[in-house]
Amino acid sequence: MSPAETVAGQELRIGEVAAMTGVTTRTLRYYEEIGLISPCSRLGGGQERRYTEATVARVRRIRELQEVLGAGLSEIRDALLAEDRMLALRQAYRRSTSRAGQAKVLREAVEVAERQLAQIQRRQDQLGTLRQELEERRSRHLQRLAELEGGP
């Protein structure tokens, strides 16, 4: 069965996950080593890793965060932990039967969201600084080019 034909709920081999997500098996092992993903089970004395569709989604999210944020794996780990916490808080909110309990959950959710927003703001500030430096450099180059082309 090819990765595209994988049945939902079926455990996947590491090579199948790699093919479905566009990363190498080495990358998947590294993600596991640093705690970004974990296999749902191991077969053959722990040698053969098995993963779920949730792992595929998580690896795709890691790749998306790398591309969108230009973030390193430590920042991505923080973002994923925040997303995991938000999911747990959503579940806690739904289970809560008291307004006070729900309010407590919402306060924590706001704190988590604020930390995520601060991370994005830091990245935007860094990109803004880089953009300004490049625009200034381009301007100097254009000015020098105009002098060269218009000069004697």
> What pLDDT does residue 95 have?
96
Phi, psi of 49 (to 5 degrees): -80, 145
Which of the residue ranges 38-47, 82-91, 127-136, 139-148 would you say has the lowest mean pLDDT? 38-47
Burial class (CB in 10 A: 0-12, 13-18, 19+), 82: middle
Convert the pLDDT of each residue in 14-28 to its tens digit: 999 999 999 999 999
Question: Higher model confidence: residue 94 or residue 122?
Answer: 94
Convert the pLDDT of each residue in 32-49 to its tens digit: 999 899 888 655 555 678
Question: Higher model confidence: residue 53 or residue 1?
Answer: 53
Average pLDDT in the chain = 88
Which residue shows structure tokens 């600084």? 129
Write 127-130 long-range contacts (CB < 8 A, 24+): 127/70
Contacts with 102 (C-beta within 8 Å, 6 or more apart), sequence order: 93, 96
Domains in the chain: boundaries:
1-69, 71-152
Question: Higher model confidence: residue 9 or residue 54?
Answer: 54
> What pLDDT does residue 97 have?
95
Fold of 1-69: Multidrug-efflux Transporter Regulator; Chain: A; Domain 2 (1.10.1660)
Smallest CA-to-CA distance from 31 within 3, 7, 66, 83 is with 66
Whole-model pTM? 0.67
Percentage with pLDDT > 70 across the chain: 88
